[in-house]
Chain A
Amino acid sequence: MRVEPSHVMMFARAIGDLDAQLPQLGSEGVPVTFPVAVAQFEADYELRPSSTTPWFGSGATPGSPRPTAVEGTRLHAEQHFEYHRPIRVGEDLFVTRAPGERWTKVSSRGGELEFFETLTHVVDSNGDPVVTMKSVSVIVPDRGEA
């Protein structure tokens, strides 16, 4: 992923920095949560229309459940960022993902909640760590997809 100035500006505006302007190359003024936008560069990212898989959103019909829908409701429960150094506008970053821990917990309503972590390691062109992200998702029984 290349940290493009225009992408940083659009991301900043979307999170409420309405007057964000094009940042200078080398600037460290990159929004803290910007690394989630690596999704734009993932070849098989399921939440972006692709040429190989029919899109599941509405058109002539309301659409269909997400292809990887699970039984129950999948919720984004937590998201964490640990910075090893600031991201610089213009640099190239490289991303690897790995599954983290999985565990279950009984909810206050008596159902079983299944939690699972995904770790995303972002490094620079020297292989030095820049940011580590941890996402925790939970599958809750008995609701629709979310």
Chain B
Amino acid sequence: MRKPPAIGQRYRCTLVTDLTRTQIVQYAGASGDYNPLHTDERYAVEVGKNPSVFAHGMLTSGMTAHGLRSFFGDAPVLRFGGRFLAQVWPGDSLSLAATVAGIEDRDDTRVATIDFVTTNQHEDAVFKGSADVALAVEHATSAH
């Protein structure tokens, strides 16, 4: 059973090691974003003038949200979002660091606000944001 989070508590996990082009293609197929900048090396280099294909920002975002689940399990996420700060390339390795910034009760729900940053193997931030996670739902009853 997970220990309830406390303000200031920190978490860290690896999201991906050596990101593959295959995973980028998997994400293109699942999300429906077939922009060739992400999946078509010749296009990305010759037309897009990039060093190679690069990951969808939403792949990084999705991996980050999945990483949060490793900390908080199936707790419902009420809010999740962030800013994309740098491109993610094939071969990159990403880590997620999260901190419990606040805990408050909203109606019958205890909500933890989590600040997070996803960094690459150079410790450069690639995605940074926050999320609100519902930790527990108290089922109110009229019985006295």
Q: Is A146 an interface residue (CB 8 A)?
A: yes
A10 to B62, CA, bound (A): 13
B81 lies within 8 A of A79 (CB)? yes
A80 lies within 8 A of B81 (CB)? yes
Residues of chain A touching chain B, judged by Cβ–Cβ distance below 8 Å, are: 7, 10-17, 28-29, 31-33, 36-42, 45, 47-49, 56-58, 62-66, 75-83, 86, 134, 143-146
A15-B63, A47-B34, A79-B58 given. 16 additional CB < 8 A pairs? Answer: A12-B66, A13-B26, A13-B30, A28-B74, A32-B65, A33-B61, A36-B33, A38-B32, A47-B35, A57-B34, A78-B82, A79-B81, A80-B81, A83-B76, A144-B50, A146-B87
The residue in chain B whose Cβ has the minimal distance to the Cβ of A34 is B62
- Could you jot down 8 A-B contacts, CB within 8 Å? A11-B62, A14-B27, A16-B67, A37-B31, A40-B32, A42-B32, A78-B83, A83-B79
A33 lies within 8 A of B16 (CB)? no
The residue in chain A whose Cβ has the minimal distance to the Cβ of B35 is A47
A110 to B4, CA, bound (A): 47
- With A63-B40, A79-B82, A145-B48 as given contacts, are A16 and B15 in contact (CB-CB < 8 Å)? yes
Q: Nearest-CB distance from B94 to chain A (Å)?
A: 9
A17 to B65, CA, bound (A): 11
* Residues in B whose Cβ lies below 8 Å from that of A32: 62, 65, 68, 77, 80
For the complex, count residues of B whose C-beta is within 8 A of A.
45
Q: Nearest-CB distance from A124 to chain B (Å)?
A: 16
The residue in chain A whose Cβ has the minimal distance to the Cβ of B41 is A58
- With A39-B31, A49-B34, A145-B48 as given contacts, are A31 and B43 in contact (CB-CB < 8 Å)? no
B57 lies within 8 A of A76 (CB)? yes
Total number of A-B contacts with CB less than 8 angstroms? 140
A28 to B36, CA, bound (A): 32
The 8 Å CB contact of B66, one of A16, A28, A58, A144, is A16
A31 to B3, CA, bound (A): 23
Q: Nearest-CB distance from B18 to chain A (Å)?
A: 13
Q: Is B1 an interface residue (CB 8 A)?
A: no
A85 to B29, CA, bound (A): 26
The 4 closest A-B pairs by CB, nearest first: A80-B81, A57-B36, A15-B62, A40-B32
The residue in chain B whose Cβ has the minimal distance to the Cβ of A62 is B46
Q: Nearest-CB distance from B116 to chain A (Å)?
A: 12
The residue in chain A whose Cβ has the minimal distance to the Cβ of B31 is A37
- With A16-B16, A63-B43, A146-B50 as given contacts, are A81 and B63 in contact (CB-CB < 8 Å)? no
B32 lies within 8 A of A14 (CB)? no
